[in-house]
A and B are shown apart, each in its own frame.
Chain A
Amino acid sequence: MASTDTCFHCALPNPRGCDLTVEIGGRERPVCCPGCKAVAELIRDSGMSNYYTMRDAPSPGVGKPPDDIAEWQVFNSDEMLQAFADVNPITAEATIYAGGMYCSACSWLIETSLSEIPGVSSVDVNPITHRLRIRWLHENLGLGDLLARLSGLGYQPQPLAPDDSSRPEIAEQRMALKRLLVASLGMMQVMMFAVGLYAGDFQGIDADMQRFLRLVSFFVATPVVFYAAKPFFVSALRGVVARKPGMDLPVSIAIGAAYAASVYATFTNGPAVWFDSVAMFVFFLTLGRYLEMRARHRSIDRGVALSQLVPNTATRILDGERSVVPVAQLATDDVVLIRAGESIPADGIIVSGTTSVDEALLTGEAKPRPRTPGDRLAAGSVNLDAIVEMRVVSTGNDTTLGAISRMSERARFTRPQFVNVADRIASYVVVALLFIATAVALYWYLVAPERAFVITLSVLVVTCPCALALATPAAFAAAGSRLSELKLLVTNGNAIEVLAEATQVVFDKTGTLTLGKPEVQSVQILHDDYDEAECLQIAAALEQASTHPIARAFRSDGPLPVVSDAENHVAQGASGTIGTSQWRIGNALFALDEPVSDEDSSTVIYLGIDGRKVARFEITDALRPDASETLNTLRSMGIKLSLVSGDNAGAVRELARSLNIDDAHSDCTPADKLRIIEALQAGGERVVMVGDGINDAPVLAGADTSIAPGHGALLAQTSADVIMIGESLQPVTTALKLSRATLRIVRQNLTWAVVYNVTALPLAMAGMVPPWLAAIGMSASSLVVVLNALRLNRYS
């Protein structure tokens, strides 16, 4: 983690020529920017260097020095306090979303450093939901101060409206825990009384004592049935109403019938009670459901990606006066001022000013779009060139960004096709079982009426297709949670199934096989008065004005010549005056006023003075460090590889040669890429597209499934089914391997469930299985399935 070319704090590569360091643990550690430096120093000076040894993942990059606390001051007002916190006369309590929180070390860091602020009385951090609940004395300490502190640690804080703390997952988890506890304690108690009753059957028992033990069992089993097992009854009823009986129907019938018969026997001194079977059955069912729910909740919180796009504050213009307000306070028809470089806080229409905006995050279009008065701006896009004033049209969840975030939120809850099919099959099985049970009941009623009830009960319990219904979702949930631990975020449940069957992987080039970070590869001097170092300095100075990704190739921290009237020309280059000469940098046409036709392998940039050539730069994009290794692994797995790129033929050929890819396509438009993928699919291949989503959104959607590197255009990722975090390309192979393992487990589970049911059913029908054994058999078969699925959690 502490290598010299990556940042000690955020683990991103350090820019060339950057020599910022921080002393931690007795050594100088390199960092990538003043922001990370400030954060690392803050962490060290607060005595929390331990964070760096405890964390699981690199911290979020910072970008700008976080000591810019003015932005947070607006949250110190009373109004803000009322809006975002539950306020008592003395204390206030607020829920804050902290974007960029990855692991337990983060939650420890936040908790410790916030608790140190005088006036803070309690901090609860939940790293899973990225939320923290904080209570403090609001007289001397404002909400803004707390947010500023969090921001200072490198997180992206966002205060949440009070009702947001009652998140559905939390409520669901709490409820499930309570039910599990009632079921488990109830089961233990009832079993204990059952031991007494069974012993009594063998060695004789007082009639009074027997009645007493049955009564006590009844008291304990009642909450187990009516509280812990309530979800089964509710879901069974829903299934019946919807005419799609699920596996909860036989479960409910079994629980209900056994309970009712036991209650009847208790109060009429009948021959037997089955409270123990009922309680055990409910406990194991609840346990299975709980494990499955935990795995499901571990999937990602898409809010992380989205919260970073919209700024926290906006500059509102009211009666000619500017004031900084939180974005949450913006209303329709407010006029806001947006400076160059700022993110757009809401959807709106430009009222004055002309600029260009970067909408890559929303549309996947990398080129800046010009925008003039009357044009629409979308929240989350970035204003690149000039100050504009915008009239707000919609805010918050009503914006385009809000709609996209809801879409991706929904993706979390969609169930894989596979699971739906399994459910449908389970519902046929259920109907069949109900018929079988009725037939068994009739048969035994005619043959031996006193045994009919017990045997029917056993049949219902033993054949409950729980294992069948749990087989698939349990494996998928476990795989999803393991994938997210392995830095792969699954946004579409179907992805795992498709990945397992993939036969062909198609890679995009820029930002996927390469890092998407351009560097100057060679400089050719075309003018006698200048040398290479001078040209690079001039280029760096001119490119400061540019927002194009290529400009980053020239970034330098050394002293630069002073440029006057620096100007950025969208899609062409940058220009400026140094001394008395007019300089231009960019493509040949722009910099030299002449078309130059020697475009070859790399991207070529020219530097010109007063229309004459000075230098020619070749820009290349470095390969991801483990690209070739990853491709070799994929090949050894029997996967065919292709490369599609919008780049020119030379660059693509060179890359394909160095990586040994035979099937390479260059100069592709998104439509071309889509055609290539469709041609492969027509040839019977299952195609996985790996691309960063810029310009690629339809291509990602067109492939059978898609993987996007996490640094790419964030929202374009919503069309990708899997997102990989970090610099490495290796997660692609992990995803494929784990998906194959998942399908293997699903097959094992289904086989087991079918074998179990087929074996147990005739035995139960023959009356050879007492209810308690049926409950154990059924529960054990479900647990085997769940535990088998949980093996995926340890997959590496």
Chain B
Amino acid sequence: MSILYVLIPLALLILGAAVWAFFWAVGNGQFDDLDTPAVRILMDDDKAPKKDNDE
């Protein structure tokens, strides 16, 4: 069981890193809009008409 004395502090370090990463992402504005990203994947960038015009 003594391995826990190593593993638990290690887990806490990883936890700390995760919290830090999340704080950074929030500060970076990545969570300001929680609605658009959900639908963005559904939108194709249909560039075709533009190419037609360029030709």
Contacts and interface: CB of A to CB of B under 8 A. Distances in A.
A108 B40 contact: yes
Nearest to B49: A47
B19 A112 contact: no
Nearest to A173: B32
A81 interface: no
B35 A219 contact: no
A54 B44 CA distance: 10
Contacts of B8: 193, 212, 216
Contact of A47 (B9, B35, B50): B50
Contact of B4 (A124, A181, A209): A209
A93 to B, nearest CB: 12
Interface string B30-53: 011101101110111111111101
A174 B27 CA distance: 7
Contacts of A181: 19, 22
A630 interface: no
A189 interface: yes
B4 to A, nearest CB: 7
B29 A216 contact: no
B48 to A, nearest CB: 6
A12 interface: no
B29 A124 contact: yes
Nearest to B9: A216
B29 A45 contact: no
Contacts of A44: 49
B39 A45 contact: no
B35 A128 contact: yes
B33 A189 contact: no
B36 A174 contact: no
A26 B26 CA distance: 43
Given A45-B53, A46-B50, A177-B31, A127 B22 contact: no
Nearest to A294: B34
A48 interface: yes
A104 B46 contact: no
A220 interface: yes
Contacts of B47: 47
Contacts of A206: 1
Nearest to B37: A104
Interface string A298-314: 00000000000000000
A128 B39 CA distance: 15
Contact of B26 (A126, A177, A219): A177
A128 B38 CA distance: 14
A172 to B, nearest CB: 11
B40 A174 contact: no
Contact of B39 (A46, A104, A209, A216): A104
Contact of A107 (B19, B22, B33, B44): B33
B36 to A, nearest CB: 4
A54 B39 contact: yes
B8 to A, nearest CB: 6
A49 B52 CA distance: 14
A47 B49 CA distance: 5
Interface string A40-75: 000011111110001000000000000000000000
Interface of B: 1, 4-5, 8-9, 11-12, 15, 18-19, 22-23, 26-27, 29, 31-33, 35-36, 38-40, 42-51, 53
30 contacts: A46-B50, A47-B45, A47-B46, A47-B48, A47-B51, A48-B45, A48-B46, A49-B46, A50-B43, A50-B46, A104-B38, A107-B33, A107-B36, A108-B43, A124-B29, A125-B36, A127-B33, A128-B33, A173-B31, A173-B32, A178-B23, A182-B19, A185-B18, A185-B19, A189-B11, A209-B1, A209-B4, A216-B9, A216-B12, A219-B12
